[in-house]
Structure 1
């Protein structure tokens, strides 16, 4: 249960810092256009902090971590979110600095989304088994 809490807490910190970073970087560069940096804040808070707070509540009710798939879900989901958000920061920063992101970055971003999807599938399969068992 502690690692779920720590994950939520870390994503809260990263979400708040990313919002500040977006504001300061765009202000520093006098950038007024569209950039992926503008949504990093909400991705970290929603897919990170809020999601893991919900997982924490479900852990309390159904002891999700006792399920066989919990470890796979936890690490796959976190890897996917970290990769997705990292690519958003890289592509957004490149936009602010006037550079174009290549196809390679799109492929890595896609891999992050695939990992998130696999993590969510593992989460729901594990949750379904734990709900049925209780």
Structure 2
């Protein structure tokens, strides 16, 4: 089931890039990010209430709160940078660079989470990095 959600994430991320590029024309990138974030916030809380999981908020540990807050800050910084890049550059070059996050995530997962890097995943990351270079040059 995780695979279905991962594919959905990929499709919606692609739509996000194209729709953002179409919508950001003539709009300050920070303002555009704030509008997008407001929609995401409403949608996320809507899902919490729709699924009846709001009662779990009191069960979140301090450690989880810390890392969820840090993740939120990283997300905000990423979105602000992404929208500014989309405003200034072509989506066909911004998006591949943004997807280098796959390579960075694998490295961080190995260093911080002690996840195993297999020869296959290392090769895949190398190909993503090489493909990104080919696309943006």
Query: TM tier, shorter chain?
Result: 0.3 to 0.5
- Give the TM-score normalised by structure 1: 0.34
- Give the TM-score normalised by structure 2: 0.34
